[in-house]
Amino acid sequence: MRIIYSAEFLFAVSILLFSGSLLISGLIVKKLLKLVLGRRTREEEHSNKSAVGGIWVLLIIGSISLILGSIVHFIKLFGFMPQLAHAEPYDILPLLLTSMKMGTIESLTVLIAGILAFTGGFIYYLLIKN
């Protein structure tokens, strides 16, 4: 299995870029929520305003999750891959397995970030739809 270090590095940096855009998106939603909820009538205020007012946090948590995913990718890239490249034949399998497990943790962080950010964005969309 050939590992392209520069491409893997590019991928980790990309995750960080997405994390930045989710962070900014969270701040935007926070600002817009103030605008939207501030304009609502008093009757509507009795509904779940406080719960909806916190949906921007979902995007921020998503952003943090992506940062964690990026850290895991960097650990995999600089910690395990060089070991894998110079491993003895009997060491390869355990290292490969650990690397795959770390890859799964990394992809789980992307999944969690995606679900949280989608949920936050979708709830806000439902709020402003009309």
Partner 1 sequence: MGLVFKFVLSSSLPPDVVMWKSISGYTTIIGALFLWLSLFFMGIIAYKYEKALKKKTNWLFIMLAPSGVLFYALIQAYSLIIVGNIKMTANQTWVSYGLFFLSGLFSLLGAWQFKKAVSPKKRRREGGR
Contact residues for partner 1, defined by CB under 8 A: 1-2, 4, 7-8, 10-11, 13-18, 20-22, 24-25, 27-29, 31-32, 59, 62, 93, 96-97, 100-101, 103-104, 106-108, 110-115, 117-118, 120-122, 124-125, 128
Long-range contacts of 36-43 (CB under 8 A, 24+ apart): 36/127, 36/128
- Tell me whether residue 85 or residue 128 sits nearer to partner 1 (CB atom): 128
End-to-end Cα spacing for the chain: 53
> At closest approach, how far in Å is the CB of 87 from partner 1?
14
| Beta carbons within 8 Å of 23's beta carbon, 6+ residues apart | 59, 60, 63
- Tell me whether residue 46 or residue 114 sits nearer to partner 1 (CB atom): 114
> At closest approach, how far in Å is the CB of 17 from partner 1?
3
> At closest approach, how far in Å is the CB of 103 from partner 1?
4
